[in-house]
Amino acid sequence: MLNFLIRRVSFMVISMIAISILSFVLIELPPGSAIEVKLQQLRQQGGDMTAEQVRGLEERYGIHDPIQVKYWKWISRAVKGDFGQSFQLDRPVKSLIWARLGFSVLLSSFALVFSWGLSIPLGVYSATHRYTLPDYVIQVLQFVGVAIPQFLLALLLLVLASRAFNQEVGTLFSQQFKNAPWSLPRLLDFLRHVWIPVVVLAVGGTAGLTRIMRANLLDVLGQQYVQTARSKGVAEHIVIWKHAVRNALHPLIMALGTTLPLLISGEVIISIVLNLPTTGPMYLQALLNKDMYLAVAFLLMLSLMLLIGNLLADILLAWVDPRVRLE
C-alpha cells in the first residue's frame, strides 16, 4: 500500500511537470498575449520610470528569451507559489486564484457527494425493481441527464429559478454577504445559493453513475455469493446492501476516473453560465485575453485537483476492495 502511494504520488509530480510544460507552450504559442499588450501600454506612456518598468518586466518574464528559458524562469517561481502577474487585471495571479479555486473544490465536492448519494439508492432501486415503471422512468431520465449539455441545464435552471422561485441566481452570496467575513448567516446564505450549481453539476454525474450502479448491481446479483448469502438465511435487504452493493461499488469508484474530469469540466462551464466566483469565468477571460500566467495557473490547479481526486479514488478503492490491496 505504501509502495503504491509512493508510486502514485511520484506519477502525480511527473504529470504536473508535463502538464505545466504543455500548458505553458500552449498558451505561449499564439501571438498577442496580454503581457505584450501591457508592455505596449507602458512604452507608449514613455518616461524613465516606465522604461525601467518595461525592462524589469522583460527581464522577469524573459520576453526576449527562448521559450525554455522563459519556462524555467516561470516554473522556478511557480513552485514557490508565485505564479506571476495577471496583466489583464493587474494583480498577482496568486491573489486571484486561491479563493476561486476554493469555491471550485467546494462546489465539485458537494456535487460529487450529491450525485453519489442519489445514484446509489436510485441504481439499487432500479436494479432490484427491474422492468417496473419506476425503473423505466429512472432509465429514461438517465439518458436525458447524460445527453443534456450542462450549460444548458444551468440555463434552464436559471430561468426556472428566477421565474418560479424568484431567486437571484448567478452568484453564491446575497449582496450583503458578498464581501463579509464568514459567519453563520453567511454560511446559510451560501447554502441557499449553492444548490443550483450543485444540482446542475450533479445531474450528469448522477445519470452516469446510476447507470453504472444499476448494471453492476444486476451483475453482482447474478453472482453465486449473493445466493450463498440468501441460502444462509440472510434477510433480503441485508443481502442487497451488505453483500451486493458493497461489491458493486468497486466499478463505481473506478468510474471516478471519468466522473471527476467531467465534474471539473462541468464546474468550469456552468460557472461561466451562472457567473459564479469560481475558476470558470476567470479562466475563460484569461484564455480569451491571452492572459497567460493566469490561464496556466488555473489549468495547472484544475489538473492538480483532478490528480488529487484520482489519488483519493484509488485509496478509497483499496479500502473497499481487499483484492486491490494486495497489488
Partner 1 sequence: MVTTSAVAEAKVSANGQVDNVIELEDLHVHFHTKLGVVRAVNGVTLEIPRGKVVGVVGESGCGKSQTAFAIMQLVPPPGRIVAGKIVLYPKNGPPVNVLRYDRNSDEMRAIRGGHVSMIFQEPMTALNPVYPVGDQIMEAILLHQTTDKKEAAARAVDILGKVGLPNPKRLLGTYPHELSGGMRQRAMIALALSCTPDLLLADEPTTALDVTTQAQILDVMRELQAEIGMSILFVTHNLGVIAQMADEVAVMYLGQLVERAPVEELFDEPRHPYTRALMRSIPHLGTPRHARLNVIEGGLPNQYSQVPGCAFHPRCPVAQPGLCDVYQPALRPVTPTVEVSCFLYHNLDGTPVAAPTQTASSGTGPPLGDALPA
Partner 2 sequence: MATVSTGLPLGGVAVQKEESAADQVSQWTLMRWRFMQNRLSVGALVVLILMYLTAAVAPFLSPNDYNELDTDHAFAAPTRIKLVHGWPSVCPLTQTLDPDHFKWVYEADCERAVPIRLFVHGAKHRLLGLIPTDVHLFGVVDVPPPAEAAPSASKTAAKDSVASLLAGLGGQNVAGAASAQAETKAEKPPRLFFFGADQQGRDLFSRVLEGSRVSLTIGIVGVIFSLIIGSLLGAFSGYMGGVVDNAIQRTIEIIRAVPTLPLWAAFAAALPRTTTVTQRYLLITIVLSLVGWTGLARELRGKVLAYRALDYIAAARLAGSSHLRIVLSHMLPNAASHIIVIATLAVPYSILGETSLSFLGLGMLPPAVSWGVLLRDTQQIQSVLIHPWMLLPAVPVILAVACFFLLGDGLRDAIDPYS
CB of 261 to partner 2, least distance (A): 5
144 interface partner picked from partner 2, partner 1, none, CB below 5 to 8 A per type: partner 2
262: Cα separation from own chain's centroid: 7
Q: Could you say which of 120, 252, 290, 318 contacts partner 2 (CB under 8 A)?
A: 290
Q: Which stretch binds partner 2 (CB under 8 A): 7-15, 72-80, 178-186, 221-229?
A: 7-15
- Nearest residue (CB) to partner 1, 168 versus 236: 236
Q: Under 8 Å CB-to-CB from 289, ≥6 apart: which residues?
A: 34, 88
Instruction: Using the rule CB under 8 A, give the single segment among 33-41, 54-62, 83-91, 229-237 that binds partner 1.
Output: 229-237
| Smallest distance from partner 2 to CB 165, Å | 14
Looking at the Cβ atoms of 54 and 317, the one nearer to partner 2 is 317
236 binds, among partner 2, partner 1, none (CB under 5 to 8 A by kind): partner 1
3-state SS, one letter per residue, for the chain: CHHHHHHHHHHHHHHHHHHHHHHHHHHHCCCCCHHHHHHHHHHHHCHHHHHHHHHHHHHHHCCCCCHHHHHHHHHHHHCCCCCCEECCCCEEHHHHHHHHHHHHHHHHHHHHHHHHHHHHHHHHHHHHCCCCHHHHHHHHHHHHHHHCCHHHHHHHHHHHHHHHHCCCCCCCCCHHHCCCCCCHHHHHHHHHHHHHHHHHHHHHHHHHHHHHHHHHHHHHHCCHHHHHHHHCCCCHHHHHHHHHHHHHHHHHHHCHHHHHHHHHHHHHHHHHHHCCCCHHHHHHHHHHCCCHHHHHHHHHHHHHHHHHHHHHHHHHHHHHCHHHHHC
Which does residue 247 bind out of partner 2, partner 1, none, counting CB within 5 to 8 angstroms by kind? partner 1
Binding mask 260-279 for partner 2 (x = CB under 8 A): -xx-xxx-xx--xx------
Task: Say how many C-beta atoms besides its own lie within 10 A of residue 281's C-beta.
Answer: 17
Contact between 146 and partner 2 per CB under 8 A: yes
Residue 232 near partner 1 by CB under 8 A: yes
Task: Choose which of 298, 314, 317, 318 interacts with partner 2 (CB under 8 A).
Answer: 298
Interface residue with partner 1, options 64, 80, 163, 323 (CB under 8 A): 323
d(CA 200, CA 155): 9
Binds 151: which of partner 2, partner 1, none (CB < 5-8 Å by kind): partner 2
Q: Which of 12, 234, 254, 313 binds partner 1 (CB under 8 A)?
A: 234
Give the residues lining the site for partner 2 (CB under 8 A): 11, 14-15, 18-19, 22-23, 26-27, 29-30, 143-144, 146-152, 155-156, 158-159, 162-163, 170, 257, 261-262, 264-266, 268-269, 272-273, 283-284, 287-288, 290, 295, 298-299, 302-303, 305-307, 310
Give the residues lining the site for partner 1 (CB under 8 A): 223-225, 227-236, 243, 246-247, 320-323, 326
